């Protein structure tokens, strides 16, 4: 059975650059996934023109049915998967006029809850020596520092559970809708809080792998790609998408004898203090 790597939200931007790099460096099938099949197939065709072979599967991380259909496909065709890169994400533009409560709900829905749902469905299928990379952001560290002491302590805790994290992320959305998020100790950034969620989720999941699947040698990390020229970040960012893909790809291709990094937040291929 072939090895298989999966990248979420990979029809453009950093995700597409990750797929491009994996097509060159990963010995196995590489799945470019997208919520919109048209945009996904177009990206696959673009890679084909470059002489690269990516496969396509539809995946909308906001849609549990779509996630489960992809899960069943991977189980049936490959008996699991070897590499999972959770890259899909959204960000409101700074000048967007949507109320903060709406921005909080919509941003958390995809970046945190969608990513978590993909993990819930696909992590059990990750094979021994597999790699999982959750694309977070340095913004998560900055937002953490702007949280109340009480929240910072919870997000840095080595014993916080996934349920507790979900409750906190849900509370942020509720507080934002009521306009009391800052009074409740949250920073004034929906994107930042969503990425705190991604980084903390990664720390929890790595701990669970240690507890439940130690012998499987799976490495799971969160990372920041850097500030990258994409539709999300705009044309002024210093890095090309290919440069942005470097750290996620490094984490996805760690050698099978590596024990670390695991459960870390990694930027520029370097472990950061959380």
**Residues of the shown chain interacting with ligand NAP in the complex, contacts defined by CB under 6 A:** 8-9, 11-15, 34-36, 39, 59-62, 87-91, 110, 114, 135, 137, 224-225, 227-228, 230-233, 237
Find the shortest distance in angstroms from Cβ 170 to ligand NAP: 18
Shortest distance in whole angstroms from residue 108 CB to ligand NAP: 12
Q: Confirm if 274 and 249 have CB atoms less than 8 A apart.
A: no
β-pair type (265-267, 219-224): parallel
Token readout for 62 is: 């906001």
Residue 88 C-beta: closest distance to ligand NAP, Å = 3
Nearer to ligand NAP, 8 or 82 (CB): 8
Instruction: Please identify, using beta-carbon distances, which residue of 18 and 125 lies nearer to ligand NAP.
Output: 18
Report how far residue 256's alpha carbon sits from residue 194's, in angstroms, rounded to the nearest whole number.
Answer: 31
**C-beta of 88 vs 206, nearer to ligand NAP:** 88
Between CA 60 and CA 118 the distance in angstroms is: 10
CB of 211 to ligand NAP, least distance (A): 27
Enumerate helices (H) and strands (E) in the chain, giving the number of each: 10, 8
- Which one is catalytic: 31, 78, 129, 191? 191
Nearest residue to ligand NAP, using CB? 13
Minimum distance of ligand NAP from residue 234's CB (angstroms): 8
Give the Cα separation of 30 and 24 in Å (integer). Answer: 10
Q: Please indicate whether residue 191 is annotated as part of the active site.
A: yes
Q: For residue 7, report the phi and psi dihedrals to the nearest 5 degrees.
A: -125, 125
DSSP 8-state assignment for residue 224:
E
The 3-state DSSP class for residue 70 equals: helix
d(CA 74, CA 168): 32
Cα angle vertex 35, ends 27, 104, to 5°?
115
Residue nearer to ligand NAP on the CB measure, 248 or 261: 248
> Phi, psi at residue 181, to the nearest 5°?
-60, -40
Q: Return d(Cα 181, Cα 117) in angstroms, integer.
A: 25
List the 4-7 sheet strands across, edge first.
55-58, 29-34, 4-7, 81-86, 126-135, 219-224, 265-267, 270-272
Nearest approach in angstroms of CB 159 to ligand NAP is: 27
Q: Looking at beta carbons only, is 24 or 39 nearer to ligand NAP?
A: 39
**Annotated active-site positions, please?**
191
């Amino acid at each position: 059975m072939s090895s298989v790597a999966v990248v979420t939200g990979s029809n453009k931007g950093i995700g597409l650059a990750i797929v491009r790099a994996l097509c060159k460096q990963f010995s196995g099938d590489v799945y470019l996934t997208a919520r919109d099949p048209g945009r996904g197939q177009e990206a696959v065709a673009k890679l084909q023109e470059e002489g690269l072979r990516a496969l396509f599967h539809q995946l909308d991380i906001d849609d549990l049915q779509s996630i489960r259909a992809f899960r069943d496909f991977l189980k049936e065709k490959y008996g699991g998967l070897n590499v999972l890169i959770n890259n899909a994400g959204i960000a409101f533009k700074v000048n967007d006029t949507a109320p903060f409560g709406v921005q909080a709900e919509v941003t958390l829905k995809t970046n945190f809850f969608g990513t978590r749902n993909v993990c819930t469905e696909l992590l059990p299928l990750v094979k021994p020596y597999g790699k999982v990379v959750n694309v977070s952001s340095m913004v998560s560290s900055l937002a953490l520092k702007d949280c109340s002491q009480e929240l910072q302590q919870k997000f840095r805790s080595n014993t916080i559970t996934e349920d507790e994290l979900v409750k906190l992320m849900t509370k942020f959305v509720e507080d934002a809708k009521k306009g009391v998020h800052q009074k409740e100790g949250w920073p004034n950034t929906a994107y930042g809080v969503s990425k705190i969620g991604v980084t903390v989720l990664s720390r929890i999941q790595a701990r669970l792998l240690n507890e439940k699947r130690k012998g499987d040698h799976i490495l799971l990390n969160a990372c920041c790609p850097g500030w990258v020229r994409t539709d999300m970040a705009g044309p002024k960012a210093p890095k090309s998408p290919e440069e942005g893909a470097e750290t996620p790809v490094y984490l996805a291709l760690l050698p099978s004898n590596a024990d670390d990094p695991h459960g870390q937040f990694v930027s520029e291929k370097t472990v950061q203090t959380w």
